[in-house]
A and B are shown apart, each in its own frame.
Chain A
Amino acid sequence: MKAEKFLGNFGRSESLWMYACARCGECVDVCPVYEETADEYTAPGFKIKKMRGLVGRKLGLPFSGGISEQGIKKIVKGLYECTLCGRCWSVCPYNYDLVSLWETARESAFETGFGLDSHVEMINAVKAENNIFNRPHARRKDWTKGLDVPVKEKADTVYFVGCLMSYRGQLKPAAKAMATIMNAAGENWTTLENEVCCGVPLKFSGGTKDLEELMEINISAIESIGARKIVFSCPGCLRMFRQEYSKALGKKVRMVHGIELIDSYIQSGRIKLKDKLAERMTYHDPCELSRLAGVIEEPRRIFNSVTSGFVELPGNKFNVVCCGGGGLYKAVDLDKSLGIAGKRIGQAEEINAAGLMTACPSCYMTLSQTARSKKSNVKVNDFAEVVAQQIE
């Protein structure tokens, strides 16, 4: 019975954690998905409680409860109804890596046949075309049309564009803007001739079987270029590289987000900006960039150089409230995902921001879609576009 195998990949650390949890409920209070759904199966603490029963049963502990396929399906649904934003980890008094716990549990769900159909489709797309949208791999570089984007055999810096920036029409100008800024700064950079999906969507879905094969293509391409720095527009790709690729690429290769690179350009004077705008602008910290990668002050320095009207959103920096688009949640429940984003747009409206900037393609897609559907006056922008327009 496949139900018996669920959570079979839990090691001693995960199993012990199930019992160590203090039941303080802090994670429940701050979870944006539980706030939106009010379904207890989406509450982090409740998922731990339910998984504890399964782990306890495997360990042969008394009072562990039964195990039914129906019950597991409910738990799995809850595991996928999560943005992996890490807010639960941030408030956990034990500081336990709950993001990793959810990813490990999703992996088990996928391996035991409880994965979602939409995720299976996405993985098949990655296998077939090396991108999550099942678009022809040959068109990955379409975003470069009409722009001086180098493809060099050797370069100091590699710009890893990512699937969303490469294929989503709305985001292509942001990728172009990033290229424009690097050219303006005189960076010796290149894109990969044969860039493929970094694999983070596979990790989020739990279908990690083909992950290594995928990673190998990017790793060998980067190694052959001899780059010492990789720049990302997508915080998901960045985290994937820092956590997984760095094991192969080593510490000599620096992995930075575009916003960190641009901040260093401004600080060192490699790019000069025009006079500050007067527009009232705010910034939504992507969870993966601020909470999970620690990039917090750099965007603020940039936006304070770009506009004199920079204002902070409530629930920001390390304590940012997710936009609702993380962890493949949009593919699970679009309405709820956009519902969470609607609250964020509402907050931007409350502080009378004309522009809402972000530094994540997934946040951009979710927030801009919501702003359009709400007919909001708040305009969602990618940071690179805003900076590129201000270069002297």
Chain B
Amino acid sequence: MTGQKEISEKKYPPDVNYRTVLKGLARLDPFFHLLMAILLITGLMIDLLGPWLGGWLWSIRTIAHGYLGALFILVFIVYIVQVIYSKKMRTVLTATNYVDFLFYIILIITGMTTASANKPWIDVIPGLFHALSPIAEFTPAIHTAVTYVWIVFSTVFPGGILHGIASVYLISHLKKKSKMERS
């Protein structure tokens, strides 16, 4: 039987504005998106405000960005498995979404490599030790650069959450404008 999702009552025809959008988005994979938001904000803090954070830098880097990042990996695996087995995999996702996932994977690998003193992939695939060791030196830079590329990608290309919010802003703006014109 059709998915029995229980949605609280809302008015039709609907109003589209920031409040309704944020309310709606809040119920979409909330744990995944919350962690993603925390990691993005703390990552930007570390990169842009690092010299001014003083003693806070260690806590933000290790706990907020590091341990939550490790938790994110587990959540991401569950999320991806869910997506693979969902109807949306073959109906709504496009190339941009898959590129988005690729960004996540790069960020996870480079994050793990940067954070772990043992370089986890050495334990998993020891044969790659010689090939990957020199790269480890650049992983923090790759991690940071990919984050900025991802932000731009998510803003510019369809499918990204930031792009969606930007578009909805435009829609609500247009609606307001047309209402004003009517009155």
Contacts and interface: CB of A to CB of B under 8 A. Distances in A.
Interface of A: 12-13, 16-26, 28-32, 34-35, 40, 43, 45-46, 48-49, 52, 63, 86-87, 89-97, 99-100, 243, 291-294, 296, 314-315, 317-319, 321, 343, 347
Contacts of A16: 167, 170-171, 174
A94 B22 CA distance: 8
A46 B91 contact: yes
A318 B13 contact: no
A19 B166 CA distance: 10
A317 B13 CA distance: 17
Contacts of B3: 29-30
A31 B86 contact: no
A13 B158 CA distance: 15
Contacts of B163: 19-20
A96 B14 contact: yes
Nearest to A18: B158
29 contacts: A19-B158, A20-B164, A20-B168, A22-B28, A22-B161, A22-B164, A23-B92, A23-B93, A24-B88, A25-B91, A26-B5, A26-B28, A28-B88, A29-B88, A45-B88, A49-B92, A49-B94, A87-B2, A90-B7, A93-B21, A94-B24, A94-B164, A95-B14, A95-B24, A96-B171, A318-B8, A318-B10, A321-B4, A347-B1
Contacts of A43: 87, 91-92
Interface of B: 1-16, 20-21, 24-25, 27-28, 86-88, 90-95, 97, 158-159, 161, 163-164, 167-168, 170-171, 174-175
A293 B12 contact: yes
Contact of B16 (A12, A96, A292, A318): A96
Contact of B87 (A25, A63, A95, A319): A25
A236 to B, nearest CB: 14
A40 B90 contact: yes
